[in-house]
Amino acid sequence: MNNLEGKVAIVTGGATGIGYGIAKRLANDGANLVMVDLDANMMKQSASEITARTQEVEISIGDVSEPKTAQEAVSKAINKWGKIDILVNNAGIGGVNGNIWELDIEEMDRVYRTNLRGVFSFCREVIPHMLEKDYGRIVNIASIVGVMGNAGQANYSASKAGLIGLTKTMARELASRNVTVNAIAPGFIDTEMTRVLDEKVREKLVEQIPLARLGLPRDIAHSVDFLVSDRASYITGQVINVNGGMLM
């Protein structure tokens, strides 16, 4: 367990799936949170489950790709706690699958908007506050397919590969100011995103995973928890693969 008492974290896409797992983990360690998501009802429900464990939680509803969503989330954190220590860019979409010659340009744009523009927008708003304190931990949730590619997911894999490039660039820009930036590349995790897959496809995926199961949101949350801790203060610009051994 990590001691995050007094720390302030923003987690995007925090209402469900991996983001909710991360938010719960950070709150259990004592962090105050701003959780950001699209769906107000689900967000309120998830936040109330976390608040029941006595952590202070603010919620912010909006699309991460709209700059005003990041501005609002940052204002909530600054007005209430005066700083932001941790940013976890988790919100992401899979988009429509298909070979590249079958995908619409609009579909590429839609995936980039959430998975890349959303991260860009949150980083732009949050980083000046981290620089003010000479302290920050940014963790971007990329994907195994951003590292190894995946037939049928040109839009998604390109967005996640782009996110890895963005992570390394920000790590270089911010290292001298004690702000670390890392990415986690999850393998296949049991959430709504993978529950849409046909049972046979899920079985085939599990056959390719040496640890013989899909991951759980908490498997990713534990790695985030490590990267935002003092134990990870000498780690920046890295991509941590959390995939049950699917990619070695």
Point out which residues bind ligand NAP (CB under 6 A).
Answer: 13, 15-19, 37-39, 63-65, 90-93, 114, 118, 141, 143, 186, 188-189, 191-194
Query: CA torsion 110→114→118→120, rounded to 10°?
Result: -70
Distance CA 233, CA 163 (A): 21
Q: Crossing angle for the helix pair 118-133 and 154-174, nearest 10 degrees?
A: 10
Nearer to ligand NAP, 232 or 242 (CB): 242
Q: Tell me the longest C-alpha to C-alpha distance in the chain.
A: 51
Q: Which is nearer to ligand NAP, 118 or 136 (CB)?
A: 118
| Least gap, CB of 180 to ligand NAP (angstroms) | 19
We find the least distance from the C-beta atom of residue 39 to ligand NAP, in angstroms, to be: 4
Active site (catalytic) residues: 156
C-beta closer to ligand NAP: residue 178 or 194: 194
As given in the structure block, the two tokens for residue 170 are 């920000």
Q: Find out whether 9 and 17 touch, Cβ atoms under 8 Å.
A: no
CB of 152 to ligand NAP, least distance (A): 15
Is residue 167 helix, strand or coil? helix
Query: Any idea what DSSP says for residue 103?
Result: S
**Which tokens in the block code for residue 132?**
């003010």
Of 16 and 167, CB closest to ligand NAP: 16
